[in-house]
Amino acid sequence: MIPNILSIAGSDPSGGAGIQADLKAISANGGYAMAALTALTAQNTKGVRAVDLIRPEMVTAQIAAIREDIRIDAVKIGMLGSADLIAAVVAALAGLSVPVVLDPVMVAKGGDRLLAAEAVTALRKGMVPRAAVITPNLPEAADLLGCAVAQSRSEMRDQARGLRVMGARAVYLKGGHLGGTDSPDLLLDGDGETWFEGARHATANTHGTGCTLSSALATQLARTPNLRTAAQAARAYTHRAIAAADGLSVGHGHGPLDHFFAARG
């Protein structure tokens, strides 16, 4: 059975991140993609120009319309933007017993803030404990914890543990910001820790990497209950999409991944 995956996130008109990246990644991983928009953005590969948050009532209505008609097998949550939107999404998902993957979108790659600073507490208390797994990068993890960005694997481990103390059932902490030739990710849950190793691919085309990984992970979790298996598959897909991205010619900044590399042969 093809799993139905709901993405709750903001829109990126350039197609590299947000809902657009989610729909591509879900589809490429074998899921049927659905979307509830939380924000409209004006952005391209060079940065965010404007953000217009959707009314919480409209976000609630979108999710309710899907729930009353369509089976949902997993949920990916991305940009929420405000405390009111966080509360609306938490309430709209009440009683839904499927894997929820939270990508805590807080700051865009160009440095633009996508989650109001005063909403961070709402994310910590309302959404982090609701998720089956959260997938922060190192700056996002530091923002959630109120500490400096991790500079080593040991600090990554400490921060992943801190996020579990905060209420996260599982943490997939992305180590791409460490620098160097390697790009290690850490999965930490109640069964222990798993490091995913890999060489860094030298490219500027990394726009939407977090959106892509979290959407792939949500889709894989709908296909297998084993978190490590799902995480490995999602990571492998994302790295192949990054490696293939140099074949695209999209924009003049941080270009997008090639989500459909497999279809291009």
Active site residues: 174, 206, 208-211
For 106, other C-beta atoms within 10 Å of its C-beta total: 24
Instruction: List strand residue ranges (DSSP E) for 141-260, in order.
Output: 171-174, 185-189, 192-196
Helix (H) or strand (E) holding 50: strand 47-53
Report helix angle 18-28 to 227-244, nearest 10.
110
DSSP 29: T
Does residue 192 contact residue 2 with C-beta atoms inside 8 Å?
no
Helical H segments across 98-208, by residue range: 120-122, 138-145, 153-166
Angle (nearest 5°) at CA 122 between 58 and 226: 85
Contact between 69 and 40 under an 8 Å Cβ cutoff? The reply is no
In whole angstroms, what is the distance from residue 184 CA to residue 186 CA? 7
The secondary element (H helix, E strand) that includes residue 39 is strand 32-44
Cβ atoms of residues 12 and 20 within 8 Å: yes
